[in-house]
Amino acid sequence: MWTVLSCPTKGLEIDEKSPKYMDRDADGKIRVNDVISVSKWMTGALKNPDLLLEGKDSVNIDEINAENEIGLKLCKAAKQILSNLGKEGERISLADTADSAAIFAKTRYNGDGVITVASTDDAAEKEVITAALESTGGTMDRSGEMGVTAAQLEAFYTELKAYSDWCAAEVQAPFADKTDAVIAAYQALDAKMKDFFMRSRLAAFSPDSTSALDVQTSRIEAISAENLSAKGDEIAAYPIARITGQEELDLTAAINPAWAAQFKVVKEAAVEAGKKTLTEADWAAIGAQFAAYTAWKAAKAGVSVEKLGIAKVNEM
């Protein structure tokens, strides 16, 4: 029946690999034309097609018909496989051809489009392949070793250029080695400072509301009998400084203890020594000092090759 219709490649009482080889168009079905095509290929590849009837899983290389293109390729492939496996003799078995990793384990070039560190003797090239492998994740080579493809190498070099260009465009850190700490502290304080200046403007506009805008004594009394070191969130919710009706922040006055350490970081690095007050414009000006720097940091590219260091990146 299946000769009229088709035979599935799965669910048969034979190894599924054989039907798959016969399925020339890989549609999961074997048709008459597939059988005829495979039969012609097999009988042409052997000097004596009757060998197929013996049911053996090995063949002598001299039994392959090297007088035609198919047979010649098979002869060369069989000899190469035996050589790669370190086997002597002229007989190749089905098992010899089954483990592609073993066949290609000791080969530099196996035609799979993947290069490994074993593909070259040049130390610099080995270093590039290793770095590209770590950057891209690599691809498994037929040999069983990890390597990289042309596309992965291209992606690696794109990353190298991106990181090099980003480093070349470096913006000077405005507060030297304290810059990142100052930025972190400023960003943590920013909303709180803006809240303070708004409260101060409202208090200036409506002096009678000053006490309502300031920290309420009742709120402090409510937690005074407790362990205040565990009330950080409550204390942090109070204004960063006392609301007095003055629109500037008095730098000589106390700062909310929940925010004092971060405020000190910004003050020591970015506020002029001896300055007594800080206006809203002063606060914004501090942020403007590192705007270009933070934009440059945010545009960071080529992260996957950063650990190589800029000197090695530029060298590669």
Residue 152, pLDDT > 80, answer: yes
Mean pLDDT of 217-235: 89
- The whole-number pLDDT of residue 315 equals 93
Residue 1, pLDDT > 60, answer: no
Dmax of the chain from CA atoms?
Answer: 111
Of 307, 275, 295, give the one whose Cα is nearest residue 183: 295
Read off the amino acid at residue 294.
T
Yes or no: say if 276 and 252 are a contact pair by the CB < 8 Å rule. yes
SS3 of the chain: CCCCCCEECCCCCCCCHHHHHHCCCCCCEECHHHHHHHHHHHHHHECCHHHHHHCCCEEEHHHECCCCHHHHHHHHHHHHHHHHCCCCCCEEEHHHHHCHHHHHCCCCCCCCCEECHHHCCCHHHHHHHHHHHHHHCCEECCCCCEEEEHHHHHHHHHHHHHHHHHHHCCCCCCCHHHHHHHHHHHHHHHHHHHHHHHHHHHHHHCHHHHHHHCCCHHHHHHHCCCCHHHCHHHHHCCCCCCCCCCCCEECCCCCCCCCHHHHHHHHHHHCCCCCCEECHHHHHHHHHHCHHHHHHHHCCCCHHHHHHCHHHHHHC
- The whole-number pLDDT of residue 198 equals 96
- The whole-number pLDDT of residue 2 equals 60
Read off the amino acid at residue 238.
Y
Instruction: Report d(CA 252, CA 118) in Å as an integer.
Output: 68
Q: Considering only residues 42 and 151, tell me which one the structure prediction assigns the higher pLDDT.
A: 151
Yes or no: say if 244 and 210 are a contact pair by the CB < 8 Å rule. yes
Q: Kindly report, residue by residue over 51-86, the tens digit of the pLDDT.
A: 888 878 888 888 888 888 888 888 888 888 777 777
Residue 103, pLDDT > 70, answer: no
Residue 104, pLDDT > 90, answer: no
> Which of 17-31, 219-233, 234-248 has maximum average pLDDT?
234-248
Phi, psi of 53 (to 5 degrees): -80, -10
Read off the amino acid at residue 51.
L
Mean pLDDT of 221-248: 91
- The whole-number pLDDT of residue 295 equals 95
- The whole-number pLDDT of residue 70 equals 87
Mean pLDDT of 27-56: 83
Structure tokens at 176: 């030297």
Compute the radius of gyration of the chain from its Cα atoms. 38
End-to-end CA distance of the chain: 64
- The whole-number pLDDT of residue 40 equals 86
Yes or no: say if 144 and 107 are a contact pair by the CB < 8 Å rule. no
Q: Which of these ranges, 18-22, 204-208, 295-299, has the smallest mean pLDDT?
A: 18-22
